[in-house]
Amino acid sequence: MRVLITAGPTYEPIDPVRFIGNHSTGKMGYALAEAFAESGAQVTLISGPTTLPDPANSQIRTTRVETGAQMYGAAAAAAPEADVWVFAAAVADYRPREVAPNKIKKAGDTLTLELVRNVDIAATLGQTKRPEQFSVGFALETNDEEAHARGKLQRKNFDLIVLNSLRDPGAGFRHDTNKVTLLDAAGQMTIFELKPKAAVAHDIVRTVLARLSLRDA
């Protein structure tokens, strides 16, 4: 089985020293790469900027990128040959329209940046997904969590979505733990308790493998 995983944040440059980004550490995506590799899968891990080392497992091939456009290019190249797609990266929704060639100097009390939409990697690739491919998305929400997650599930052609809420202590960015709810296209919902991200990754992998097994039955 071949698995494509995106992980970590993207950094969208403003000038040579500043960028738009987020607090993603990549830990969840890297844990998923390890868990899938342990199941026997060949994993392509496309990672945004993180402090994590490349996984040592020989079944994981890591590609490092920085921007959303770079991540999209790498994911689009790998997606057609992958059996499972897992979009765990926190891709910046917007990027500056223009990147200053030199450091922007402080002048005046305000600074206005014009932002443009980044490509929605999961939604764009979801339009090309073949029936035998399985797509997993993530929804990190702060309110109306289930409604937003189900909307993304349908809009981005996911087979399964991993929902976690920043209102749950110990979940989301900057933690070694996570608390997730899995929602599938058939309406089934599975709630897991707070646990280390490595254990969460194995829960997700077991769920994906079970869904694929049912398809093949």
- As a 3-state breakdown, the chain gives helix, strand, coil percent values, each rounded to 5, of 30, 25, 45
Is residue 104 included in any domain, yes or no?
A: no
CATH no. for residue 202? 3.40.50.10300
Is residue 103 included in any domain, yes or no?
A: no
Alpha-carbon distances, residue 88 vs 115, 139, 163, 209 (angstroms): 23, 9, 11, 17
In three-state secondary structure terms, 204 is helix
| Residue of 22, 102, 143, 164 marked active site | 22
Residue whose entry in the numeric block shows the structure tokens 């080392």 = 53
Query: What proportion of the chain, given as a percentage, has pLDDT over 90?
Result: 83
Q: Which domain range does residue 183 map to?
A: 2-98+113-216
At 78-122, the pLDDT tens digits run 999 999 999 999 999 999 999 999 999 998 899 999 999 999 999
Q: Cβ of 34: how many Cβ atoms within 10 Å?
A: 21
Is residue 50 included in any domain, yes or no?
A: yes
Structure tokens at 201: 């990754």
Structure tokens at 39: 């199941």
**What single letter denotes the amino acid at residue 8?**
G
Structure tokens at 199: 């254990």
Structural domain total, the chain: 1
Distance CA 143, CA 141 (A): 6
**What single letter denotes the amino acid at residue 82?**
A
Is residue 10 included in any domain, yes or no?
A: yes
Q: Is 22 part of the annotated catalytic residue set?
A: yes
Is residue 175 included in any domain, yes or no?
A: yes
At 127-179, the pLDDT tens digits run 999 999 999 999 887 788 889 999 999 999 999 999 987 777 776 666 788 88
Is residue 108 included in any domain, yes or no?
A: no
pTM of the model: 0.93
Q: Is the pLDDT of residue 217 over 70?
A: no
